[in-house]
Amino acid sequence: MSSFEEFFIQLAVDFPRWNFIWLYDDLQADRILSGLWVTVKLSLACVSLSVVIGVVGAMLQGSNSSRVRALVQGYIQFFRNTPPLVQLLFFYFALGQFTPTEVGPDGWTEQPLITNVGWAIIALSLFAGAFNVEIFRAGIEAIPYSTREAAESLGMSQRQTFFYVTLPLSLRVSIPALNNNLVNLVKTTTQAYAIAVPELLYESVSVWNDYPSAQNPTMLLLFLAYLTLVGILVFCMNSWEKSMRIPGYGH
């Protein structure tokens, strides 16, 4: 056993509330690491999916069909104005009953086709996506109509105009607000805890339920982990914003 591990074992003896168990117990370290990995994957999936939902939703909001626009509006109102935790529970427990099942790898248990992780990704992406639609719409509205008109007068279709002109320009306007929403989304992944997704919070709670002496250090770890994760996200978003800066435009 290394002196590093010995130090923390001794610390837990001297200060019983400060048992950094995952620094010397491989089993607990694995739980924390696997939780962290699930959180990272969950965040990446939800961030990407919610951005796609935002872009598609903002595009559909410019649709010529009033029915499509009403549908997008209804979606936004529902997912923006209800608590994400309730949405998660609803998707998993209510909708989960109706989704098809398949026979598991053991050959005899029935398993749902969409797992709790799947439902968490769906629910959280729809939740954050509703905000993203509004964020992108605000960006689109900031682009002068005459710029779109110029694209259309060159023979570009509505779809081409959206993807090659309006969207790239509006993204630049939307990034700061998008940044905020994605930060919130990463933090909201902890609510998947409620449907037993083995993410970082879930694993951390399991650790301190088994070892109450590890509660304080594990909470400290949770804060540090989220500060780091969100820090990385913000760093990436800021670099993206810088890379999209256009000489002579908007400054």
Partner 1 sequence: MINWSPEQPIVSIHNVHKSFGPLEVLKGVSMDIMKGEVICIIGPSGSGKSTLIRCINALNDIQGGSITLEGQEVHDEKLDKLELRKKVGMVFQQYNLFPHKTVLENVMMAPIKVLKESKVEAQKRALELIKKVRLDGKENSYPGELSGGQQQRVAIARSLAMRPDVMLFDEVTAALDPETVKEVLITIQDLAAEGMTCILVTHEMAFAREVADHIYFTDRGVIVEHGSPKEFFDNASDPRTKEFLSQVL
Cite the beta strand spans of the chain per DSSP E: 101-103, 110-112
Selected binder of partner 1 within 164, 227, 231, 232 (CB under 8 A): 164
Selected binder of partner 1 within 11, 40, 138, 151 (CB under 8 A): 151
Minimum distance between the CB of residue 41 and partner 1, rounded to whole angstroms? Answer: 33
Selected binder of partner 1 within 155, 223, 242, 243 (CB under 8 A): 155
Across the strands, what pairs with 101?
A: 112
Decide: 10 and 1 in contact? Cβ < 8 Å: no
Provide the mask over 172-201, with x wherever binding to partner 1 is found by CB under 8 A and - wherever it is not. x-----------------------------
Ramachandran assignment for 150, one of left (phi > 0), alpha (psi -120 to 50 degrees), beta (any other): alpha
Residue type, 31: R
Nearest partner of 225 among 192, 196, 187, 185, judged by Cα: 187
Selected binder of partner 1 within 16, 74, 104, 168 (CB under 8 A): 168
Q: Find the part of the chain contacting partner 1 (CB under 8 A) among 3-11, 113-121, 155-163, 194-202.
A: 155-163
Nearer to partner 1, 42 or 171 (CB): 171
Nearer to partner 1, 5 or 149 (CB): 149
Distance CA 209, CA 199 (A): 15
Nearer to partner 1, 27 or 142 (CB): 142
243 interacts with partner 1 by CB under 8 A: no
Distance CA 35, CA 86 (A): 22
Selected binder of partner 1 within 10, 48, 111, 147 (CB under 8 A): 147
Minimum distance between the CB of residue 246 and partner 1, rounded to whole angstroms? Answer: 5
Q: Find the part of the chain contacting partner 1 (CB under 8 A) among 4-12, 77-85, 90-98, 144-152.
A: 144-152
Three-state secondary structure string covering 71-127: HHHHHHHHHHCCCHHHHHHHHHHHHHHCCCEEECCCCCCEEECCCHHHHHHHHHHHH
- What's the token pair of residue 34? 């696997």
Torsion sign across C-alpha atoms 171, 175, 181, 182: positive
The DSSP output letter for 192 is G
Selected binder of partner 1 within 169, 194, 201, 229 (CB under 8 A): 169
Selected binder of partner 1 within 27, 70, 154, 224 (CB under 8 A): 154
142 interacts with partner 1 by CB under 8 A: no
89 interacts with partner 1 by CB under 8 A: no
141 interacts with partner 1 by CB under 8 A: no
Distance CA 202, CA 85 (A): 15
Q: Which residues of 105-125 are buried (b: 16+ CB within 10 A; e: fewer)?
A: eeeeeeebebebbbbbbbbbb
Which residues bind to partner 1, rule: CB under 8 A?
144, 146-147, 149-157, 160, 164-165, 168-169, 172, 244, 246-250
